[in-house]
Amino acid sequence: MGKKNKGHGGLVYSTNSDAFDDYNDEQSEETRPKNQQKLRVRIETKHRGGKTVTAVDGFIGSEEDMKDLGKELKTKCGAGGSVKDGLIIIQGDYKEKIIGWLRDWGYTLTK
């Protein structure tokens, strides 16, 4: 048999927007300090129509903080990009520059 959601007494679906408010609060994780973030920067071309992008992975924290970091990186690179599924994507090959900026900003465990 499937697992029951103990926090909601078996509630599977509800049109009440307040039904899952406490569940969403549990999901938001507190952002770790910059010097404890293990960010990994890599170049990707697969599944992107031949376009090169720089991906930053490993951010642990709130979605809002990750979006702020992504916005700052896009601004510094002067390029487009997105933040989704725990991944910051910057259009173009900016790996070395991004690693340098992240380290300057206090993300000392960046590779």
Q: What is the pLDDT of residues 50-60, one digit of tens each?
A: 899 999 999 99
Residue 27 in this model has a pLDDT that exceeds 60 = no
Structural domains of the chain ordered from first start: 31-104 (3.30.780.10)
Q: What is the pLDDT of residues 68-106, one digit of tens each?
A: 999 999 999 999 999 998 999 999 999 999 999 999 999
Q: How confident is the model at residue 11 (pLDDT cuts 50, 70, 90)?
A: low
Q: How confident is the model at residue 47 (pLDDT cuts 50, 70, 90)?
A: confident
Location of structure tokens 């890599």: 42
Alpha carbon of 87 to those of 10, 18, 69, 95, 111: distances in Å? 32, 29, 11, 14, 15
